[in-house]
Amino acid sequence: MLEENLVVHQLPSPIINPENQVFWQAAQKDRLVLKVCNSCKEVHYYPRAICPHCGSNDTVWINSEGVGEIYSFTVMRRGVEVPFAMAYVCLKEDISLLTHLYGCDFDAIYIGQKVQVVFQETQDGQKTHLFKLLV
């Protein structure tokens, strides 16, 4: 089961634009970055130029520790070429992001499980973030 799930799923590539390119440049170096607002001090996701919590345009990039826990998940078993585990991971920085779980036994996933960020190349070579289970 585990080996079968490790079949490399060539993920579609993200869409890079002037507002998010720092995020994807960091991913290329295996770093997860987030946006924090200098005005309200809140972290947000997905990253924007303008803070969705207070409207300030004084937002800056910070490094994420890349650790968190599974808020919810599903295993997409049918209707796709390669089954995958999708999740919302709630990071230590108190934001949740939509992602995939990397190379895990689908039947061992549970809500609240601790996870750590890893990076994987997508179809065009751009890396993106996934999370592996910390057992």
Q: Which of 26, 36, 44, 115 forms a contact with another protein (CB under 8 A)? A: 44
User: What character string, x for contact with another protein (CB under 8 A) and - otherwise, covers 78-97?
Assistant: xxx---x-xxx-x---xxxx
Q: List helix spans (H) across 6-135.
A: 21-28
Is residue 108 at the binding interface for another protein, with CB under 8 A as the rule?
no
Q: CB 129: neighbour CB atoms within 10 A?
A: 22
Instruction: Decide if 85 contacts 104 (C-beta within 8 A).
Output: yes
Q: Does 61 bind another protein (CB under 8 A)?
A: no
d(CA 125, CA 122): 5
User: Which positions touch another protein (CB under 8 A)?
Assistant: 11-17, 19-20, 23, 42-46, 48, 51-53, 71-80, 84, 86-88, 90, 94-100, 111, 122, 128
